[in-house]
Amino acid sequence: MSAISEHVVNPFADISTNIETNDFFSIDDEGDAWSDAHANFLSSLSESETQDLLKCSRRMDLKSRDHLFRAGDRSNDVYIVAGGCIRLFQVSSTGKETILWFSFPGEIFGMAELWRGSNRQIYAVANEATQVYSIRRKDFTNFLGAHPEAAMKAISILSARVRALGHALVGLASDNVETRVARLLVRLAAVSSGTRCCAGYTEGELCVNVRLTHQDIANLIGASRQTVSSTLAHLRKIGAVRTVSHHFHIVQPDHLRRLLQLSAA
């Protein structure tokens, strides 16, 4: 279960700013949409906006695999990640899990059903020990009304997520599995690298600082687990990636860069 802390915490004490630019995005036609979709909403606010938002926020501490909400729950709150990572996913009638998104420090989520007041359609689970700020629907609505610039930023992030998910659907039809794995690892390295790697890394490596199983990757790129496992085994064999404490390090970024260049040609 989660523990709720009622006191206001300074977000800049424990929230790392996500990387906004990355060399890989220069060869990735959809990189800008991906970067915008993972924008750090909290750090984009002014000091006064931040203080006003935190006044109506509650901090929640989640253990790894704690549920923040489930499909069918009432949508009463919007959330911002203060530290850690939230996994957002759907479960089919056959019990198959489809990962929709990972939310990293500073990212806002939980808005989709909020405005309609309908029940949650997806699940939100802590991918690791995670802290989030919870804001009631009424308080968040009042905040956006008082701060139109912040409202525009929230709308921009939601629009970028729609574009990013649209690009992902195109990739399912046009890219082979190796390219999809490479693009996913590169993008997750870009948006998760604001968090310090728990295991350390060698200079020149890129840390994909997200706990991922082979099944997780398969769910994210629309491939079978067996195909993903063989693809990762090949990338390990040639020294392009390695596994460190349940996450990946890109040892040879140039190799993945070449894969993305070939797919863009």
Please report the domains of the chain, with CATH numbers, ordered by start residue.
3-169 (2.60.120.10), 176-264 (1.10.10.10)
pTM comes to: 0.80
Say what the pLDDT of residue 265 is: 59
- Considering only 18-22, 206-210, 232-236, which range has the smallest mean pLDDT? 18-22
Say what the pLDDT of residue 8 is: 39
User: pLDDT tens-digit profile of 50-103?
Assistant: 999 999 999 999 999 999 999 999 999 999 999 999 999 998 888 888 888 899
Say what the pLDDT of residue 3 is: 46
What's the whole-number average pLDDT of the chain? 82
Task: State the DSSP string of the chain.
Answer: --EEE-S---GGGT-PPPP---GGGGG-TTHHHHHHHT--HHHHS-HHHHHHHHHTEEEEEE-TT-EEE-TTSB--EEEEEEES-EEEEEE-TT--EEEEEEE-TT-EE--TTTTTTPBP-SEEEESSSEEEEEEEHHHHHHHHHH-HHHHHHHHHHHHHHHHHHHHHHHHHHHS-HHHHHHHHHHHHHHHHTTSPPSS---TT-EEE-S---HHHHHHHHT--HHHHHHHHHHHHHTTSEEEETTEEEES-HHHHHHHHHHHH-
User: pLDDT tens-digit profile of 173-196?
Assistant: 678 899 899 888 888 887 776 555
Say what the pLDDT of residue 20 is: 40
Say what the pLDDT of residue 32 is: 63
